[in-house]
Amino acid sequence: MNRRSIVSVVGDAGVTPGSPHYEAAREIGRLLVDAGLRVMTGGLGGVMEAASRGAHESPAYREGDTIGVLPQKDPQDANQWVDIVIPTGLDYARNALVATGDAVVAVGGGAGTLSEIAVAWMHRRLVVALDLAGWSANLGDKRLDARIRFADIPDDRIFAAPTPKAAVAIVVERLPAYRASRERSGERPA
C-alpha cells in the first residue's frame, strides 16, 4: 500500500488572515495537497489554521488531508479546517509529534517553531524554511549542528525557500531521497 506523505507546516499561532505569514502558509497548504501530500499542523490558529485552510482550497483536497496535533485535551480547540484532530494534553511537548511528519516546512515562527525545527532535524526529517521574518528566515540554508544525518545526501541542510511555491517544490523534489535514505538505515516511515 502506498501511503501519502505527511508534511508538517509550522509557524506563529498569532498571525492573522491577510498577513504575509498567514497567506504564505495558506498557499503552502494548498500546494502540498495539489502535489498529493497531506498537511499536519499543531491544529490551532495562525500559520496552522492557514495551512489547513489552504489544503481545503486545493482542487485535489480529500477528507482527511489535514491533521491537527493539539496541545490541549479538548478536540473542540482545533481550527475549523482540521479533518483529523489529535488532542494530546501535552502542551508544548506536542511539538515533538508535529515535527515528525515526513517533512517540515517552517513559516516564520518563534520559540515553538524553533523547537519543531530542532526536533525535525534530530529525527532526520527534510526541513524547508520559508524566507519570512522569524526562525525560518534565520535558519534557511544552514545546518543546526555538525552531525552528518545522511551520507548519501551531501548537501543536507535546512533548505531556504524564497516563496511558498519554491518551498513545496523542494519538498516534492527532495522528499523521496530523504525517505529512501531513512528507510535504508532501518528507520520506518513516519
- Domain range for 27: 6-184
Q: Is 22 domain-assigned?
A: yes
Q: What is the pLDDT of residues 76-118, one digit of tens each?
A: 999 999 999 999 999 999 999 999 999 999 999 999 999 999 9
Q: What is the pLDDT of residues 135-188, one digit of tens each?
A: 999 999 999 999 999 999 999 999 999 999 999 999 999 999 999 999 888 876
Q: Is 190 domain-assigned?
A: no
CATH number, domain of 20, equals 3.40.50.450
Q: Is 25 domain-assigned?
A: yes
Cell readout for 44 is 490551532
pLDDT for 184: 87
Which residue's C-alpha cell is 479533518?
83
The answer on pLDDT for 2 being more than 80 is no
Q: Is 1 domain-assigned?
A: no
Q: What is the pLDDT of residues 9-63, one digit of tens each?
A: 999 999 999 999 999 999 999 999 999 999 999 999 999 999 999 999 999 999 9
Q: Is 189 domain-assigned?
A: no
Is 0.95 topped by the overall pTM? yes
Q: Report the alpha-carbon distance of residue 40 to residue 46 in Å, rounded.
A: 14
pLDDT for 3: 87
Q: Is 177 domain-assigned?
A: yes
The answer on pLDDT for 190 being more than 90 is no
Q: In what order do the strands lie in the sheet with 126-130?
A: 84-87, 66-70, 38-41, 6-11, 103-107, 126-130, 158-161
Number of domains in the chain: 1
pLDDT for 189: 59
Distances 20 to 27, 63, 162, 170 between C-alpha atoms, Å: 11, 27, 13, 20
